[in-house]
């Protein structure tokens, strides 16, 4: 399996996030990608740099004003004499103007963000764009006939919506890959999201569409981030009604229950019968993850890969979360090797 990776990911570094009431160094750190890269090289996978794509590819899933904000936000910040990471401190919640975009940088940051755990630093745009290009390149490889490809994306993407960033995500890499496959003639595309957290951004982007099925197995938003999306009663709207499937599980979920949910997800995917599959591959379901509470062990990741291979469709893997950095490479390579076995 070909791996697409860019060293530019390291430009997104040096920020802090608001975590349980405290500003702490980001869990989403550059060494994550370095360790995954080592593990896939050790496994013998070929690693390629991403191709570049026109700005229009981003606008297939994202709002133009949002993309422009991400591209220029930190330049504006520095032009005001500020430096270092930028975090929003006010959001358009109930009772406030929700659709007005303030001209000032702090108001605009709050408008486009949905949390204070996703700092923007000087190199964030460069890294996010490179990650998007990794996902688009992996999708292009599959469109050109590869049976599978892995986009080693950092920063991740599945929390980023049409015009919304948060959850360490800026551009939705998996949604871009799915849309690219649609644009290259794959009539039906499915996205399976196995990250610990609900992929609210991907759900948002494809909510009203019947050509892209979104299926997600994640920790219940009753207690887990992102709290305000990912419940089982969310099933899509309009033409997309019935094309979103959420399978929330409680904190403490072990392999037996996870495996049952994975069976249900695979059944839904088989019924939809996609022409291609995109997997939002988070490994923050691991028992050692510092911000998550599922109990999957290393031995379970190859089993997940094997199960995904059973669908027998061209498959693009896109890296999402996973914060137990010492084991992140083994767990990711485990899924990919299990898929190929
Ligand atoms: N108090 C991904 O795995 N922090 N994003 C939550 C809750 C945000 C995770 C803090 C977690 C985002 C791609
Ligand atoms: Zn996650």
In a domain, 39, yes or no: yes
Contacts within 8 Å (CB) and 24+ apart, 231-235: 234/203
Question: If DSSP codes are grouped into helix, strand and coil, which group holds residue 219?
Answer: strand
Give the residue carrying structure tokens 């963000």.
113
* CA nearest ligand 1 atom 9, residue: 167
In a domain, 111, yes or no: no
pLDDT tens digit string along 153-163?
A: 999 999 999 99
Query: Which two structure tokens, joined as six digits, stand for 50?
Result: 């991403």
**Active site residue: 159, 198, 218, 300, which one?**
159
* CA nearest ligand 1 atom 5, residue: 167
Smallest Cα–Cα separation from 199: which of 257, 302, 279? 279
Question: Which pLDDT belongs to residue 170?
Answer: 99
CB 84 within 8 A of CB 121: yes
In a domain, 115, yes or no: no
CATH code: domain of residue 34: 3.40.800.20
In a domain, 329, yes or no: yes
Active site residue 12: no
Complex-level ipTM: 0.97
In a domain, 83, yes or no: no
pTM for this structure? Answer: 0.98
In a domain, 281, yes or no: yes
Residues with Cβ within 6 A of ligand 1?
A: 19-20, 117, 156, 159, 167-169, 195, 197, 225, 282, 284, 320-321
Question: Which pLDDT belongs to residue 297?
Answer: 98
Q: What is d(CA 195, CA 198) in angstroms, rounded to the nearest whole number?
A: 7
Q: How far is the CA of 26 from the centre of ligand 1 (A)?
A: 10
Counted domains in the chain? 1
Which domain range does residue 227 map to?
Answer: 2-13+28-51+123-340
Cα-atom radius of gyration of the chain, to the nearest Å? Answer: 18
Low pLDDT (below 50) residues in the chain: none
Question: Which pLDDT belongs to residue 306?
Answer: 98
Question: Which pLDDT belongs to residue 205?
Answer: 98
In a domain, 307, yes or no: yes
Question: Which pLDDT belongs to residue 187?
Answer: 98
Question: Which pLDDT belongs to residue 9?
Answer: 98
Q: Residues with Cβ < 8 Å from 136, sequence gap 6 or more?
A: 50, 51, 53, 57, 176, 177, 180
pLDDT tens digit string along 171-191?
A: 999 999 999 999 999 999 999
In a domain, 205, yes or no: yes
Q: What is d(CA 31, CA 209) in angstroms, rounded to the nearest whole number?
A: 36
Question: Which pLDDT belongs to residue 240?
Answer: 98
Ligand closest in space to the Cα of 172: 1
Question: Which pLDDT belongs to residue 230?
Answer: 99
């Amino acid at each position: 399996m070909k791996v697409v990776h860019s060293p530019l990911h390291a430009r997104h570094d040096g920020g802090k996030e608001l975590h349980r009431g405290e500003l702490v160094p980001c869990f989403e750190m550059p060494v994550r990608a370095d360790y995954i890269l080592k593990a896939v090289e050790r496994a013998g996978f070929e690693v390629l740099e991403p191709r570049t794509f026109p700005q229009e590819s981003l606008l297939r899933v994202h709002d133009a004003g949002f993309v422009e904000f991400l591209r220029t936000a930190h330049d504006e910040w520095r032009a005001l004499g500020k430096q270092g990471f930028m975090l929003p401190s006010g959001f358009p919640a109930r009772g406030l103007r929700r659709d007005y975009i303030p001209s000032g940088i702090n108001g605009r940051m709050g408008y486009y963000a949905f949390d204070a755990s996703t700092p923007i630093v000087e190199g964030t745009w460069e890294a996010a764009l490179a990650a998007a290009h990794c996902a688009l390149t992996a999708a292009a490889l599959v469109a050109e006939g590869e049976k599978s490809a892995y986009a080693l994306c950092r920063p991740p993407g599945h929390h980023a919506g049409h015009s919304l960033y948060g959850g360490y995500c800026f551009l939705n890499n998996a949604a871009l890959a799915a849309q690219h496959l649609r644009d290259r003639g794959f009539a039906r595309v499915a996205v399976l999201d196995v990250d610990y957290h609900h992929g609210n951004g991907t759900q948002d982007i494809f909510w009203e569409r019947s050509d892209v099925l979104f299926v997600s197995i994640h920790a219940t938003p009753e207690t887990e981030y992102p709290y305000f999306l990912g419940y089982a009663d969310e099933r899509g709207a309009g033409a997309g009604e019935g094309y979103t499937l959420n399978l929330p599980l409680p904190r403490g979920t072990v392999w037996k229950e996870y495996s049952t949910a994975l069976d249900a997800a695979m059944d839904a995917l088989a019924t939809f019968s996609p022409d291609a599959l995109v997997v939002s591959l988070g490994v923050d379901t691991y028992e050692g993850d510092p911000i998550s509470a599922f109990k999957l062990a290393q031995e379970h990741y190859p089993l997940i890969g094997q199960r995904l291979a059973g669908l027998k469709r061209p498959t693009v893997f896109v890296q999402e979360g996973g914060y137990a950095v010492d084991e992140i490479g083994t767990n990711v390579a485990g899924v990919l090797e299990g898929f190929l076995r």
